[in-house]
Amino acid sequence: MSAGVAAISPLDLRTGLTHVFETMFFRSVESIPPDAGFTCPAFLVTVGFEGEAAGFCELVMTAAEAAGLASDFLGCDAEQQTPDQDRVVEVLCELGNMVCGHILSLSAPGSLFQILPPSCSSLAADSGLPDVTWSRFQLDDGQVAVRIVFRSEGTQPLLRAI
Amino acid sequence: MNATCLHDVLIVDDSPAMRKFVRRVLEISGFAIGELNEAVDGLDALKFLSRRPVDLILTDVNMPVMGGEEFMARVASESGTKEIPVVVISTDSTRQRTGRMMALGASGYVAKPFSPEILRAELERVMAGRAL
């Protein structure tokens, strides 16, 4: 593991995620059990990071929540069309960037790292994601699951759902 | 700065969603905005600044082609731009990153996530310092 990062605590994960959703998207965030059902996972966002902290952050988002987040973030009012898929992907990538960077900044404020360009892909219904190793949260219109994996620790996530 | 103290702003960010968000937050924050302009990375921003000056630059750190650190260094070193205050808007709020950007010449730093009130307060602090 990187010298500058001892671990990402569940508290830092929840705090970072809550800050991002409440401040930038005006969403409340509630922790849910890791074995709770995850209804219609639709998008996977992946954000790599390098430097004193190296690894990646991933988010899984339901379709309904993703569309609502994009609409609010871009300032679409009720009369405007909901954002198309490209706009939703742009917002989800920015969401991933913020969640990853903010949680790392909370957990390792003395480290120097670089956030890599995010990517977003659609998830098949039988993808198996998220599994029980992800931390899961209930938002207003759907769910989000998050994990951060440090590359030097192999592929096992350091975080467990709370 | 124009005669009515409205500030012409250049937003530098590779994310179109974030550029739109910053534009919207600026508009609702109450900060005195003149023209809002956008660039997709540091190089695009330098090209824009070679054609026309602005009163304030808001820049991301992690961008392709030319990132925020190189852009900041170029702005601070060139005679036509070194007097323009630069405020960094980044998800990376570690002491190291903040220190590096301020050492390169940034006038302010806003960590994401941020509220309109936080953005406005930082921009007004920076512009007030310039007016002294």
pLDDT for A96-133, tens place per residue? 999 999 999 998 888 888 899 999 999 987 888 888 88
Q: Can you give the residue ranges of every domain in chain B?
A: 7-127
Residue A12 has pLDDT above 70, yes or no: yes
What band does A2 get if pLDDT is binned at 50, 70 and 90?
Answer: very low
pLDDT in tens, B14-69: 999 999 999 999 999 889 999 999 999 999 999 999 999 999 999 999 999 999 99
Residues whose CB falls within 8 Å of the CB of residue B8, separated by 6 or more in sequence, listed in order: B1, B2, B34, B35, B36, B37, B53, B54, B55, B56
B115 contacts on A by Cβ (under 8 Å): 23
Q: Are B70 and B115 in contact (CB under 8 A)?
A: no
CB pair distance less than 8 Å for A105 and B94:
yes
Q: If you average pLDDT over each of A27-36, A130-139, B46-55, which comes out highest?
A: B46-55
The pLDDT assigned to A109 comes to 84
What average pLDDT does range A135-146 have in this prediction?
90
Give the mutation candidate from B92, B93, B98 for the A interface (greatest A CB count, under 10 A): B92
**Average pLDDT value over all residues in chain A:** 84
Q: What is the ipTM of this complex?
A: 0.85
Chain A: give the shortest CA distance to residue B90, in Å. 8
The pLDDT assigned to A133 comes to 85
Chain B: give the shortest CA distance to residue A61, in Å. 18
pLDDT in tens, A36-92: 888 888 899 999 999 887 899 999 999 888 999 999 999 887 666 778 889 999 999
The pLDDT assigned to B125 comes to 95
Facing residue for B113 by CB, picked from A23, A93, A116: A23
Tell me which CATH code domain B7-127 carries: 3.40.50.2300
Peptide linkage before A130 cis (omega within 30 of 0): yes
Residue A149 has pLDDT above 70, yes or no: yes
Dist CA A65 CA B16 (whole Å): 20
Q: Can you give the residue ranges of every domain in chain A?
A: 10-153
Q: Which two tokens stand for residue B73?
A: 């260094």
A114 contacts on B by Cβ (under 8 Å): 62
Could you tell me the CATH superfamily of domain A10-153?
A: CheC-like (3.40.1550.10)
